Structure 1
Amino acid sequence: MKTARTKTPRRPPPKKPSNADQKDPVGVYCRVRPLSPSDQECCIEVINETTVQLHPPDGHKVNRNGEYKETQYSFKQVFGTQITQKELFDVVAKPLVEDLIHGRNGLLFTYGVTGSGKTHTMTGSPGDGGLLPRCLDMIFNSISKFQAKRYVFKTDDRNGMDIQCEVDALLERQKREGHSQLASKTPLNKQRMEPEFADMINIQDHCKVEEVDEDSVYSVFVSYIEIYNNYIYDLLEEMPIDPIKPRPPQSRNLREDQNHNMYIAGCTEVEVKTTEEAFDVFWKGQKKRRIANTTLNRESSRSHSVFMIKLAQAPLDADGDNVLQEKEQITLSQLSLVDLAGSERTNRTKAEGNRLREAGNINQSLMTLRTCIEVLRENQRYGTNKMVPYRDSKLTHLFKNYFDGEGKVRMIVCVNPKADDHEESLQVMRFAEMTQEVEVARPVDKPICGLTPGRRYRNQAFKDELSRRLEERGGPVIGEPDDQSVIEVLIQSFPPIPSCELLNANDENTLPLLIEVLEKRRRIRHMMAEEFNKNVSSFKSMLQEVNGVVAAKENIVQGRMSERDKIIASQKSEMERLEKKIKTLEYKIDILEKTTTIYEDEKRSLQHDLENQTQKLQRQLSDKRRLEARLQGMVSENSMKWEKECERRVAAKQLEMQNKLWVKDEKLKQLKAIVTEPKSERPERPSRERDREREPRVPVRSISPSPAPNVPPVHARHRRSRSAGAERWVDHKPPSSVETETVMQPHVPNAIKVSVASEKALAKCDKYMLTHQQLASDGEIETKLIKGDVFRTRGGGQAVQFTDIETLRQESPPGSTRKRKSSPTKPPPQEDTTESEWTDVETRCAVAVEMRAGSNLGPGYQHHAITKRRKP
């Protein structure tokens, strides 16, 4: 059955063992450079082995109290100006070399300001090698006896290593011997080296790792790159010489291998066998490195240089004679030695053009390194999961695996104690002290192969014993020093042949002498033949012994082979059984796939039906919602229309009833005037305006004539108004109101008395009462108390809805009426139009204020305004 080709998913990264409890902080060391003779003032002082103190130079920033601000920084170890390169190497780099031999990675980089001694620390000077040559010397001192033949290990250009047998390696070595000088088998001699070169690697320490796996073979590969303007260049690349049009170097790209480790694609890796050869490769790359003369340093590094030492090791086979031809058993470890370019301020270097651009890129890459360290520290201290910006710079992207737990990280902070570098040294110290708070997971050791240890030693012992036994059985073989001495003695014992010239016929001395010499030579030849036969017989016995040993070994091998054949036969039978089982399982898988296909088709059809039903239900539901919304809109619209119509009809009815009441009131007033009017003419009643002018602001106690002097006056009795309650009232009395002091004068406690209605007073109360006075038809004062409820509108204002009207009226007693009837006729009282009009204006103003306060009323509220009609 044909199946669709699917894209192979990317293999997930291998799960690394959890090392949450096994973390090591980044080791940060500080090295103080000696003060040069031209600099007089020193700003850095070593307090003890772990602490260094910085103080500002004279005339620099001081505290408010006038004292100098001194700061101290602590590191894993501080090296003063008298420290030697060997002492620094023993503390910092030697543990990294030991880890390299044991299959673990390491990163060591120098950091500091321009001219602080980073390159000197890493490379050294003539007669005093730095960390790099000492690391190479220690590596080759440790593995010199166990190195593999050249080209046994081969790089695969994917950050991996292939392995081949010694015969293939020999053929490839013969093929490349004439093409590559770096791959030449003959090591470099010190006579061919430059004097400066020879002095740097002339290290007499002979330091080496004691615990080396003797059952493995080793091979060292070195590569050298630089990161210039955030581009990676291979310093070991062989460029074709073209004097007409020289070819510029090509930048390299970063790649990720199958183990998710970063490497440089196409980078040259050279296999080296001695310290001299490795340092010669470094020196050739160092000559290509970009340096320039700046104000601060005569040979300032304008790029970050990275020298990588890769160690490949593979175990020997079970016999301890040849390398095990399994790629999975190869262990690769790498030590990266980084010489960072110095951070610098452009206002000090006065850089322009290319120098300014280089300084900007250097500072940017160092800033990215600092940002990555800060984010790592924050994630570890506070448990956050921020993304570390490794990709912002090629430097941090290349070494991100080390900070993720692929090896130890060590940093040497180089500082210059002169006063001019004080500000830069402060920044360097702060960054270095913060860096040692970052913890890196401890790498896990690779499991050892299951072969018996001590294989190389047993193989060598077997060879030595075989040679000893052959020597004992057959004597010394041809070619050994004893045999050569015997043959030389025999050859030297040959007597010289005398002259054979016969001078005369009677010469009897020449022939006997010749016969004697020839006889001696014959005896010597006979002795040599006997010696030769003896050697031949001994050699035959030796061959027989060797044949016996070989036969015994072949018997052993055949026994092992028979055992292996049995194992292979059993494995073949097991494989056949498994193949049959696989075929059965494949048949079942085919049936299950067909069943699964049928079920998937049914599932898709059912899902399609379900989607159709769901869409139909959704359409029905949406139609229902639209219909409900439409009906609700129609109902709300109709209800609003009916509410408005009812409001309009109620208002019209109220207006009609008010008109009818007003008409009836007018008719009753006219009728009363007609009934109470005498037939004779009455004098016109004096106007109340004149009384007010005589006694302004005096409350009118009674309109009727004053009682007799002997009758006590009637005191006003206050009744408790129906307005009194738990609510607060607004008692609105216009300035024109007159205190009548009637018996039933209302009294409202807990009220706010105002003369003009205001929104502020309405906001504090629940009820509203307006006092309105006017002249009745009989000329008496009529007081109306217009009451209402106060509401809060949607717009934040206040509105009043009038609910009740109380009328207070004062009349004269019947006696006074009779007296008035008996009095001469007077014209009917005329209404005081001035007062009436003034009162009418006050009422309208109050109503207008209330209407404005309730202008934001919503639907359902009605304004009941009291208006006064003028008499015709």
Structure 2
Amino acid sequence: MKPARTKTPRKPLVKKGSQTSLKDPVGVYCRVRPLSFPDQECCIEVINNTTVQLHTPEGYRLNRNGDYKETQYSFKQVFGTHTTQKELFDVVANPLVDDLIHGKNGLLFTYGVTGSGKTYTMTGSPGEGGLLPRCLDMIFNSIGSFQAKRYVFKSNDRNSMDIQCEVDALLERQKREAMPNPKTPSSKRQVDPEFADMINVQDFCKAEEVDEDSVYGVFVSYIEIYNNYIYDLLEEVPFDPIRPKWNSCSTPMRSTDFVPPQSKLLREDKNHNMYVAGCTEVEVKSTEEAFEVFWRGQKKRRIANTHLNRESSRSHSVFNIKLVQAPLDADGDNVLQEKEQITISQLSLVDLAGSERTNRTKAEGNRLREAGNINQSLMTLRTCMEVLRENQMCGTNKMVPYRDSKLTHLFKNYFDGEGKVRMIVCVNPKAEDYEESLQVMRFAEVTQEVEVARPVDKAICGLTPGRRYRNQVRGGPVGDEPLVTEVVLQSFPPLPSCEILDVNDEQTLPRLIEALEKRHHLRQMMIDEFNKQSITFKALLQEFDNTVLNKENYIQGKLNEKEKVISGQKLEIERLEKKNKTLEYKIEILEKTTTIYEEDKRNLQQELETQNQKLQRQFSDKRRLEARLQGMVTETTMKWEKECERRVAAKQLEMQNKLWVKDEKLKQLKAIVTEPKPEKPERPSRERDREKVTPRSVSPSPVPGDVYKTRGGGQSVQFTEIETLKQESPTGRKRRSSTAAPAQPDGTESEWTDIETRCAVAVEMRAGSQLGPGYQHHAQPKRKKP
């Protein structure tokens, strides 16, 4: 197909040592089957005889959230729902059969989704014969009277044919007829009445220009490719009472009890053509015999009931029609016993199994395995088409994966130029097959752009026209002119009877003399006429000679002129050749310069890549170093944050402790200040000295303020009254203590009645004993005794 898009210009491939061969694209046709029910939703519309339009159905858009799209695909020809089997055959298969009769190979296969009408197109139905019976009918209509006797041609295992003489062929016919169960089909047998109407093709079709000086033989074979294994459907497997029958649920086949057949191998003949080794080839002499052989193999083909199709093909079937042609001798009676003169052509009719999705067919077990192998072989076919197309369009030389599947490996010769290739894409327009139909259209698009080399025409004709000459002598074609001798003899008067029975007979001799005189007169007239015609002919001949001579002179003059032109052209060619050599030399120099520049460019590119890699490594190292430093900074920050938090907590605890110490001092101070002054008798001096050394304990007293709990578990005080305390050095205290008690008027020291003195002494004593080593007791000077 050729949708509107920009394509890469195609580059023709030229093989070494050969000229460019002509190529033809693969002919892709489309056939649209009618809907099963009139009210079904349709997703395919036929625009004209070469274009179809595929649009997104409503159900697909709702389920897959897809947009509405309309895509057109072009084919070589599109056949709508009302196309008859004859119309399809005349356009697609008729040219292939005509090529087969003239010694060329052909491949025709049907492709599509399960239930799209592939088997109907190939085989047909009662009353509507498909492509296969119509091809057989056309072949036998064309060569029916020119067929060789049975067993004159004999197939061998090397994909070629042998020739037997008439005696050997007769002996083999007698030997086969003497067998109790002859394997060769007979024209006297009746075909299965269920499908007998398929053979009765009412439309007579015949190939033109069939060589009458050759004899023909038709051989058919029927194989299937199941799970990527090749099986011969015409192989007669004997019944084995020991082994179990081959008709299990895993292989639903309509067949009798027989052992399972062995798979066949693909081999390559001396002409590098692929063939199935050991495949049964049956010689047939009529359409009925050929279709009998086909239907015998059709009963063994693997089919199954799936969710989408009641009789779904589980394998790819290949029906081969091989036409053998050999020339007759000079008499037109016997076949030449030269094997080199045999021409073999083949037409392969392939009914591909339908591609399917397991989520729609609900396949399980063996059905699932079969579907996987079918889809895999079709995917390999599509891959081969894509590689062929890429090689042809882009000028590449990629290896085509023919060997990945038996299907593509068998037909690789057709895509390499051994014959024409035609494909019929069968589609079902119902909306449920939209996704599968889209994939089929894309595959057809790729296939139609693949070009196959056109096969070389073979000269096929007898060495001498023995049969043709003999047919002309015996009957002569209708409308031929009679010979000149016959016309001359018919113009002469007939001779009367020359028998004289009576002596007195006087009439016989005069009549005979009269007849002879008339004949002589006619003869003389004819001689005169002949002389006149001869003179006229000589004059005409002389005139013709003169005309020819004049023409020769004229032609000679023209030839001289042409020779002058040719000489001038040769000189021009020599000049152009010299110029061409100069340009080639320049091109060579430029190519060398280009090579040097390309080498420098590659070196610079390598150096640039090396520098880029180095810069990339440095950048990566820098990134890693930055990441590592960032991690270290983060780790150090967290460490110092924790250390600061620890130090702040310790400082807070220290400050709380100091605050508590101050609170305690204030409490003690308050207790000292608010303590009443007892009137005590004067103690002895020794006791007073001991009191100076040992401070008195101060009982706690209520704090003049509000007390709050802190986070560290301590307490804080908010004072309502503030007093200022002063601390002096020990020397100062000594000096003050010495001067604190002035002498009394009577010359004795006064008692400690001064409140400030008492507080200072008490605080110093308490601090020295309870508040730490920083505070020391200082003995007060002894008072003088009165």
TM range (shorter): 0.5 to 0.7
Aligned to 1:456: 467
Q: Residues 317 and 382 (structure 1 numbering): CA distance in 2 closer, same or farther, change over 3 Å?
A: same
CA contact (8 A) 1:17 1:444 kept: no
Aligned to 1:347: 359
The equivalences for 1:310-325 within 5 A come to 310-325=322-337
Partner of residue 421 from structure 1, selected from 433, 455, 465:
433
Partner of residue 374 from structure 2, selected from 359, 362, 372:
362
Q: Distance in 1 between the 2:19 and 2:54 partners?
A: 37
Question: How far off its partner does 1:20 sit?
Answer: 2.7
3-state DSSP class of the match of 1:288? coil
CA contact (8 A) 2:185 2:289 kept: no
Aligned to 2:111: 111
Partner of residue 234 from structure 2, selected from 236, 241, 245:
236
Question: How far off its partner does 1:210 sit?
Answer: 1.7
Q: Residues 288 and 364 (structure 1 numbering): CA distance in 2 closer, same or farther, change over 3 Å?
A: same
Q: Distance in 2 between the 1:111 and 1:294 partners?
A: 18
Amino acid at match of 2:100: L
Partner of residue 195 from structure 1, selected from 193, 206, 224:
193
3-state DSSP class of the match of 2:60? coil
Aligned to 2:740: none
Q: Residues 330 and 356 (structure 1 numbering): CA distance in 2 closer, same or farther, change over 3 Å?
A: same
Q: Distance in 2 between the 1:359 and 1:400 partners?
A: 23
Is 2:257 the partner of 1:251?
Answer: no
Normalised by the length of structure 1, the TM-score is: 0.50
Q: Distance in 1 between the 2:169 and 2:66 partners?
A: 74
Question: How far off its partner does 1:114 sit?
Answer: 0.3
Aligned to 2:213: 215
Question: How far off its partner does 1:459 sit?
Answer: 2.9
Question: How far off its partner does 1:19 sit?
Answer: 6.3
CA contact (8 A) 1:146 1:217 kept: yes
Q: Residues 250 and 98 (structure 1 numbering): CA distance in 2 closer, same or farther, change over 3 Å?
A: same
Deviation per CA, 1:75-107, whole angstroms, max 9, x where unpaired?
100000000000000000000000000000000
Q: Distance in 1 between the 2:97 and 2:261 partners?
A: 32
Amino acid at match of 1:348: R
Question: How far off its partner does 1:434 sit?
Answer: 1.2
CA contact (8 A) 2:21 2:454 kept: no
Deviation per CA, 1:126-173, whole angstroms, max 9, x where unpaired?
010000000000000000000000000001111000011111101111
Higher relative contact order (CA 8 A, sep 6+): 2
Aligned to 1:710: none
The equivalences for 1:352-391 within 5 A come to 352-391=364-403
Normalised by the length of structure 2, the TM-score is: 0.55
Deviation per CA, 1:376-430, whole angstroms, max 9, x where unpaired?
0000000000000000000000000000000000000000000100000000001
Q: Distance in 1 between the 2:280 and 2:468 partners?
A: 35
Amino acid at match of 2:135: C
Deviation per CA, 1:705-757, whole angstroms, max 9, x where unpaired?
xxxxxxxxxxxxxxxxxxxxxxxxxxxxxxxxxxxxxxxxxxxxxxxxxxxxx
Q: Residues 347 and 21 (structure 1 numbering): CA distance in 2 closer, same or farther, change over 3 Å?
A: same
Question: How far off its partner does 1:62 sit?
Answer: 8.3
Question: How far off its partner does 1:445 sit?
Answer: 1.7
Q: Distance in 1 between the 2:358 and 2:50 partners?
A: 32
Aligned to 2:202: 204
The equivalences for 1:407-556 within 5 A come to 407-448=419-460, 451-452=463-464, 454-461=465-472
Question: How far off its partner does 1:178 sit?
Answer: 3.1
Q: Distance in 2 between the 1:170 and 1:315 partners?
A: 20
Deviation per CA, 1:562-620, whole angstroms, max 9, x where unpaired?
xxxxxxxxxxxxxxxxxxxxxxxxxxxxxxxxxxxxxxxxxxxxxxxxxxxxxxxxxxx
CA contact (8 A) 1:224 1:235 kept: yes
What's the RMSD between the two structures over aligned residues?
A: 2.2
Partner of residue 330 from structure 1, selected from 335, 338, 342:
342
Aligned to 2:224: 226
Deviation per CA, 1:217-275, whole angstroms, max 9, x where unpaired?
00000000000000000000001112441421100000000000000000000000000
CA contact (8 A) 1:111 1:411 kept: yes
Amino acid at match of 1:160: S
CA contact (8 A) 1:133 1:201 kept: yes
Q: Residues 317 and 250 (structure 1 numbering): CA distance in 2 closer, same or farther, change over 3 Å?
A: same
Q: Distance in 1 between the 2:112 and 2:312 partners?
A: 12
Question: How far off its partner does 1:463 sit?
Answer: 6.3
CA contact (8 A) 1:183 1:271 kept: no
Is 2:191 the partner of 1:178?
Answer: no
Q: Distance in 2 between the 1:147 and 1:230 partners?
A: 37
Q: Residues 395 and 238 (structure 1 numbering): CA distance in 2 closer, same or farther, change over 3 Å?
A: same
Amino acid at match of 1:112: G
3-state DSSP class of the match of 1:252? coil
CA contact (8 A) 2:213 2:328 kept: yes
Amino acid at match of 1:359: A
Q: Distance in 2 between the 1:464 and 1:241 partners?
A: 54
Aligned to 1:25: 25
Amino acid at match of 2:468: Y
Question: How far off its partner does 1:457 sit?
Answer: 2.1
Aligned to 1:767: none
Amino acid at match of 2:458: K
* Structure 1 unpaired stretches of 5+: 1-14, 466-872
Q: Distance in 2 between the 1:16 and 1:283 partners?
A: 46
The equivalences for 1:503-652 within 5 A come to none
Amino acid at match of 2:72: Q
Q: Distance in 2 between the 1:220 and 1:66 partners?
A: 54
Aligned to 2:528: none
Kindly tell me the number of residue pairs found equivalent between the two proteins: 448
Aligned to 1:282: 294
CA contact (8 A) 2:54 2:70 kept: yes
Amino acid at match of 1:209: A
Deviation per CA, 1:7-66, whole angstroms, max 9, x where unpaired?
xxxxxxxx9994634100000000001000176111100000110001111142389999
CA contact (8 A) 1:182 1:281 kept: no
